[in-house]
């Protein structure tokens, strides 16, 4: 997809589930690899995975050949990983923000979000299933500077709200947008 990039948020330690989520598997496939494959299926080639320093060697060995950046302070929350991604892809027209703990999102969901973005290039695009919004989301270039100049204490939801950019919710038939894997029981309930 021309000039749309993707950032996979994978810097968490996975404390509740006992291992960093990028190393979790569905069948024989690691979460991070599944997500990279889904992103590439839409034509997006510029992919950056935000990881912890402790996962760098694992990532080089087991993850697909995509770029990565290390979040040196992953405990400070997701927003810092998002900002690393925005800084990396400042010249993109948009960035897909894809948390690694949402590996069951369907490729067609991502394709639908990209299609809606292509018709609304100054809007934030979020998927919605049964009146609940989820992930991944697409943020436009018009949000980049605002986000980078925001208070380091803001979470990303607050940054989006304060930007006053329009948010478009795309109705999808994909429960995967809501299924973030946090506990071992969550992992047992996916296929």
Predicted local distance difference test score (pLDDT) of residue 152: 64
pLDDT of 67 strictly over 60: yes
User: Could you read off the pLDDT of 122-136 as tens digits, one per residue?
Assistant: 999 999 999 999 999
Query: Is pLDDT at 110 greater than 70 in this prediction?
Result: yes
pLDDT at 73 exceeding the cut of 90: no
Q: How far is CA 158 from CA 53, 131, 167, in A?
A: 27, 20, 13
Q: What is the pLDDT of residue 6?
A: 98
CA distances from 72 to 53, 54, 105, 108, 183 (A): 7, 10, 28, 33, 24
Q: What is the band of 191 on the pLDDT scale with cuts at 50, 70, 90?
A: low
- Confidence at residue 10, expressed as pLDDT on a 0 to 100 scale: 94
Contact 101, 11 (CB under 8 A): no
What domains can be seen in the chain, in order of their start residue?
A: 4-188 (3.90.550.10)
Instruction: Rounding to the nearest 10 degrees, give the CA dihedral for residues 175, 28, 48, 149.
Output: 40
Q: What is the mean pLDDT of the chain?
A: 91
What is the predicted pLDDT for the residue at 13? 79
pLDDT at 20: 86
Asked if residue 169 lies in contact with residue 135, where contact means CB atoms within 8 angstroms, the answer is no
């Amino acid at each position: 997809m021309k000039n749309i990039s993707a950032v996979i948020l994978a810097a968490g330690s996975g404390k509740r589930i006992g291992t960093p989520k990028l190393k979790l598997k569905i069948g024989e496939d690691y979460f991070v690899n599944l997500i990279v494959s889904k992103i590439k299926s839409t034509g997006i080639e510029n992919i950056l995975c935000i990881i912890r320093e402790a996962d760098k060697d694992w990532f080089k060995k087991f993850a697909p050949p995509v770029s990565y950046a290390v979040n040196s302070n992953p405990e400070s929350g997701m927003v810092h990983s998002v900002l690393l991604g925005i800084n990396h892809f400042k010249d993109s027209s948009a960035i897909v923000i894809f948390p690694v703990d949402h590996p069951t999102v369907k490729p067609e969901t991502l394709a639908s979000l990209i299609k809606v973005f292509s018709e609304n290039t100054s809007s934030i695009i979020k998927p919605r299933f049964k009146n609940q919004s989820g992930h991944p989301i697409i943020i436009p270039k018009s949000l980049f500077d605002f986000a980078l100049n925001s208070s380091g204490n803001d979470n990303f939801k607050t940054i989006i709200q304060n930007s006053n950019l329009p948010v478009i919710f795309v109705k999808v038939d994909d429960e995967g947008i809501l299924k973030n894997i946090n506990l071992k029981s969550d992992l047992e309930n996916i296929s």
